[in-house]
Structure 1
Amino acid sequence: MSELQVETLDHLGLVAGVIDELDLVKLTDELLPPHSQNCISSGQVVKAMLLNCFGFLSAPLYLFIQFFESKPLEHLLGPGIESSHLNDDRLGRVLDGLTQSGTTMFFLKAALRAVERFEVSCEQVHLDSSSFSVDGDYRLAEPEADLPDSFDNDAIGDDVQTIEICRGYSRDQRPDLKQYMVNLICSRDGGVPLWLKVADGNQSDAQAFAGVMSDFATEWDVDSLFVIDAAFYSEPNLQQVCSLRWLSRVPQTLKAARALIEQPTCELTAVACDLNDYQMWEVSQTYGAIEQRWILIESQTRKADKALWQKEVQTLERKFKRQLKQLTKTIFACRPDADEALIAFQEQLEKHQLVNVTIETVRTKRAPGEPRNKTLKTPIESYRIKATLECNSETEEQFMRQRSRFILATNQLDTQTWPAQKLLKEYKQQQKVERGFRFLKDPLFFTSSVFVKKPERVEALALIMALTLLVYTLAERKIRQALKQQQRTVLDQRKRPTTKPTFRWIMQTFQGIHLVLLNGLQQVTNLSEERQLIIHLLGPPTCRYYLLVDSSPTCGM
């Protein structure tokens, strides 16, 4: 009688192939050597966690075993591996070990391998941070020494500090929840994450970014151009990273920045720009004792869109009209009090002004219940303000300039190597790291839910999240590069040919692939021509999981 066994493979072979190409299992086992009593190594557990992250099920840790019950575990992880081996205790021990080994240094080793094996360029890198909310009341844990005896103590940092999960400024608009912060540096080339730093929930970007940049430069030993948002730009930070190359947006809170934005463009030196929608002017500036170039950039689309600032003007006007109405109802006992209140109100007005201002004399009756003395019954002379609020003649013009203009600053003074237009293009690539955070917070991925009780394990899960992003970006980058080189295309969501598919879409197109075992023989079903093309583009490690020979498919796309 024939024996038939069918297991769901889907896109997990794609993910497993990239993990193998990075050699993450070996890297993990070197830092967390397996114990003789372990049925599954730490590296295999980490690989299983990454596969779970790509499961599109938002499956938390307590559903980990159920996730793998229908998957070909031995095919993906190794012979003899069963879903029962991935129990809570084993997962928790591995998470503890990852934290003790140092999440930043572990990720650094993985990123170094990625850059070497996938030839990722690090000439320009992008830095940003984001908050991740958690449920529960997390407290600082007591130091524990519960790691297996086989762990190499020399490879585990003695100075590893536990992050503090606490309340802080929430990017997720959830100030009621505690959180932790993640600092991420990604390459311009494919948005590949190169640096991870998990930090306390109340970390200030303004105080952290310079240290992150310095640590990255020390460990990577590459002369990268750092691209950062305005949170970085401060005098102490500029002086701390004076030896590094950087490009940053200048906050409009600086007096010099506000003055430049308000300055008439006829007084500035225009620079050539063939980018649609933009005009640029350049000035030399010294801030924090650092000589810089400031690039004033104006978006013509935002300039023409009055809705960007008219709503703000109207909101501000309604606010001051309410305050003025209350002020004009107030009765003052003497003229100096009225003058003082009027001056205090006018000092709040930056983009509005008072017209038809008068201070009237009014006579008010005394309150009832006072003595019947005729002199005391005489009306009291008091004062009241009358005025009308209106916009300054240049209010809308000021709002337009503030909403349509921004300033980029850099310490790269060579205009031939770094013309203003090139700097703008580089800054616009900041969306690479922002896209990485959107991926990490995508509710389709397991990493969006944190169901662990210890801060140390939360930090380790953040490492797993970053490794997931590393695998995702490397796979997407490799597929896109191969399609371009071979002049091939695949169909996107709209059934249109494209050379730039997202890896998320590629994974969705791989649903319905099964590993069939019939009478001891393995076979992978439902491999269409396009699916075979994708598998071959990712190379031999991926071909192995789909039982394909590493050769280009004969079909034409």
Structure 2
Amino acid sequence: MDFDDIFVSDSDRTIGHLGLVAGSYDELNIGQIIDNFIPKTGPHHLTHGDIVKAMVINGLGYIERRLYLFPAFFTDISLTRLFNKEITPTQLNDDLLGRTLDAIHAFGETEMFNHIVSECLERDQFAINLVNNDTTNFSVHGNYDSDSNTEEIEITHGHPKDGRWDLKRFALGMATNQHGIPLLLQTFSGNESDKKALLEIITKVKKNLNVAEKVIHVADSAFYTEENLQTLGFHTFWISRVPLTISEAESLRKTSESFTSCEDSRYSYYCSSSNYAGVRQTWIVFHSSEQQRKKEKDFDKKVEKELIRAQKSLKHLACKRFACEPDARSAAAEWVSKHPWVIFDTCSIKQVHERLEKKRGRPGKDETLILKYVIEADISLNFTELEKEKSILGRFIIATNDLDLDPETTLNYYKGQSQVEKGFRFLKDKTFRVSDVFLKNTGRIQALAMIMVLCLYVYAVTEYKLRKSLKETNETVPSQTGKPTQKPTLRWIFFLFRRVRELSLRIEGRIVTKVLNLDKTIRKIIRLLGTHHEKYYFT
């Protein structure tokens, strides 16, 4: 029998890793939660939960994601399998997407995400000992008028973290647990202060989290202000980097006290106490040998530039005229105090006589001249000060109001801040195509931000659960280098599924649908993730 007689036309469709995405979406009950709070009101075949599922699949599908390309994304995909109902690509159009984004915005993006996370926490009890908080911003294309609706954020120019000063933007605040799983999202206007945004995020996380254990909030130095510390008070535990703009911190960084080595030989520390902002806290000065080496490479170049700047500044000083010698000496002392990396090799005060009025030519025999004083000086590098500065390049200060934490635990907790930073890199990674903001409606942009974080949520939970299952069963999967690992990235797992497809065949008068290219590793991964994922590949 010819293969064309067996093969069902137009039945060769992609499943790939999208069954993993769909399985996690179902397991987390996201669609049902969305439909409970924003049920469909029209005669549409698809619910808002279905549309959000489509957006998450699309967002984690490695393909261009723009609303007008949305139906095209699904033309080669097994929609019936992924949605458990008959769907055509044309049903997934920009009109339905827009209505769903509008419905999410009307309900509240943060509130909707909170409901999704809360149910997951109640069911799965993910550990939440640490909450990492941070903000970033996303650029948008097009013009956006300010809206009188105070519920809307303002798409406006702000400090760009992508270097695009020409584009307007909005800010996104996010909190994750220690495994990088998002717990909260909040959109802000493009020019929102990080200091205020971080306080709002921490305050909302405190309100929404219902856990009995102690929770410590971690944030970068933008959080560390008198107002923020006083607002949170004594009953919210936090860890933050102390900005060196605080004079007390800069003074402590230069301490000559001896440091204690950490278990991690790259670090050493010195502990001090502080009552900054009226809050009892521990300040720990850490020295990182790795940071020291990195910063030393740039230090010599920085010194060269500073010497050139100082020489130019000295020329301007030499042009100034002073009414008396004490004024000149005072100006010289002030100048050198502002340039601690240089010293005067020579410095003298000279007298000059000048005309009362500036005229050309020699002064007349009886013309009255004014006595002025000028500074004549030569400078060189202050090697003593430079050596001191160089020796502390790898120092930074971490503060916490949890007085029970030891220094090394505090450092490890702070380094966990990389989890939320990793999440932002994920959202901006062009591979996943979830960060291109192209909508012309502010409310839809806010709703799309929730979809972006929801993609990260599904990704992070799936990765966490797979790693947990691998560890509990003492199983491994091959890494990119072919070595066994229990900590694969989900991106790598997605890559392993790239050849998985669905094909329908006519066998003895019946149409049989097969899932192809399920090798041993892929089958193991599916079984480890559980029944919600198995149904997309084994049935």
TM-score, normalised via structure 1 length: 0.88
Question: Residue 248 of structure 2: which of 245, 253, 256 is its match?
Answer: 256
Which letter does structure 1 place at the counterpart of 2:267?
Y
Question: Residue 318 of structure 1: which of 280, 295, 308 is its match?
Answer: 308
Report the counterpart of residue 389 of structure 1 in structure 2: 379
Gaps of 5+ in 2: none
Question: Residue 292 of structure 2: which of 303, 323, 344 is its match?
Answer: 303
- 1:31 partnered with 2:37: yes
Distance in 1 (alpha carbons) for counterparts of 2:387 and 2:358? 50
122 and 359 in structure 1: CA distance in 2 versus 1, 3 angstrom threshold: same
Report the counterpart of residue 473 of structure 2 in structure 1: 486
| Runs of 4+ with deviation above 4 angstroms | 333-341, 361-376, 378-384
Which letter does structure 2 place at the counterpart of 1:291?
R
84 and 430 in structure 1: CA distance in 2 versus 1, 3 angstrom threshold: same
Report the counterpart of residue 204 of structure 1 in structure 2: 193
Distance in 1 (alpha carbons) for counterparts of 2:137 and 2:462? 26
- 1:463 partnered with 2:458: no
1:97-496 to 2 correspondences below 5 Å: 97-141=103-147, 161-188=151-178, 190-222=179-211, 223-242=214-233, 243-266=235-258, 273-304=262-293, 306-328=296-318, 330=319, 332=321, 342=332, 345-361=335-351, 375=366, 384-414=374-404, 418-496=405-483
Deviation at 1:389, TM superposition (A): 2.3
For the residue of structure 2 that corresponds to 1:167, the secondary structure is coil
TM-score, normalised via structure 2 length: 0.91
For the residue of structure 1 that corresponds to 2:166, the secondary structure is coil
For the residue of structure 2 that corresponds to 1:447, the secondary structure is coil
> Please, which moves more after superposition, 506-515 or 464-473?
506-515
Which letter does structure 2 place at the counterpart of 1:487?
N
Which letter does structure 2 place at the counterpart of 1:427?
Y
Deviation at 1:372, TM superposition (A): 10
- The answer to whether the 8 Å contact 1:262/1:401 transfers is no
Deviation at 1:380, TM superposition (A): 8.6
367 and 407 in structure 1: CA distance in 2 versus 1, 3 angstrom threshold: closer
- The answer to whether the 8 Å contact 1:331/1:382 transfers is no
Report the counterpart of residue 83 of structure 1 in structure 2: 89
Distance in 2 (alpha carbons) for counterparts of 1:271 and 1:464? 46
Deviation at 1:422, TM superposition (A): 1.0
Deviation at 1:106, TM superposition (A): 0.7
Which letter does structure 1 place at the counterpart of 2:473?
Q
Which letter does structure 2 place at the counterpart of 1:325?
K
Distance in 2 (alpha carbons) for counterparts of 1:134 and 1:413? 43
1:527-542 to 2 correspondences below 5 Å: 527-542=518-533
Distance in 1 (alpha carbons) for counterparts of 2:435 and 2:293? 39
Q: Aligned residues: percent identity?
A: 34
Deviation at 1:395, TM superposition (A): 2.4
331 and 413 in structure 1: CA distance in 2 versus 1, 3 angstrom threshold: closer
Which letter does structure 2 place at the counterpart of 1:261?
R
Deviation at 1:35, TM superposition (A): 2.6
- The answer to whether the 8 Å contact 1:261/1:401 transfers is no
- The answer to whether the 8 Å contact 2:135/2:197 transfers is no
Distance in 2 (alpha carbons) for counterparts of 1:16 and 1:391? 64
For the residue of structure 2 that corresponds to 1:265, the secondary structure is coil
Distance in 2 (alpha carbons) for counterparts of 1:477 and 1:331? 66
- The answer to whether the 8 Å contact 1:139/1:455 transfers is no
389 and 372 in structure 1: CA distance in 2 versus 1, 3 angstrom threshold: closer
Which letter does structure 2 place at the counterpart of 1:215?
K
- The answer to whether the 8 Å contact 1:8/1:513 transfers is yes
Deviation track 1:200-244 (CA, whole Å, cap 9, x = no partner) reads 111112122223212211111234111111111122111111221
Deviation at 1:326, TM superposition (A): 4.0
Report the counterpart of residue 514 of structure 2 in structure 1: 523
> Please, which moves more after superposition, 175-184 or 381-390?
381-390
Distance in 1 (alpha carbons) for counterparts of 2:124 and 2:241? 31
Report the counterpart of residue 510 of structure 1 in structure 2: 497
Which letter does structure 2 place at the counterpart of 1:162?
E
